[in-house]
Amino acid sequence: MNIKWEDGFKITVKTDGKETGIIANRAGLISLANILRTLADEPDGSHIHLDAYNSLEESSAELILEKE
């Protein structure tokens, strides 16, 4: 999957067990939109894992996006 990341993106995912929040700057929101658009064109079952080791800000919860 070829994801287009916007320069300077920042994305944080926070969860307290009941609620999950996604906090992002403009570049981060555009990057998330790019991810969702790309994922929409992939086969069912395709998914992407986002975490603090590959794209999210430090201390973020893991986020898994999957196409059904």
Q: Which residues neighbour 29 within 8 Å (Cβ) at sequence distance 6 or greater?
A: none
1 versus 21: the higher-pLDDT residue is: 21
| 44: in domain | yes
Helix (H, G, I), strand (E, B), or coil: what is residue 26? helix
- Give the residue numbers spanning the domain of 55: 11-66
| 15: in domain | yes
| 4: in domain | no
> What's the pLDDT score for residue 50?
96
pLDDT in tens, 45-65: 999 999 999 899 999 999 999
| 6: in domain | no
Inter-residue long-range contacts of 19-27, CB under 8 Å, 24+ positions, other chains counted: 20/61, 22/63
| 56: in domain | yes
pLDDT in tens, 3-59: 899 999 999 999 998 999 999 999 999 999 999 999 999 999 999 999 999 899 999
pTM of the entire predicted model: 0.90
| 57: in domain | yes
Q: Which residue has the tokens 């929040």?
A: 21
| 17: in domain | yes
Q: CB burial class (10 A; 0-12, 13-18, 19+) of residue 21?
A: exposed
> What's the pLDDT score for residue 1?
83
Q: How many domains does the chain have?
A: 1
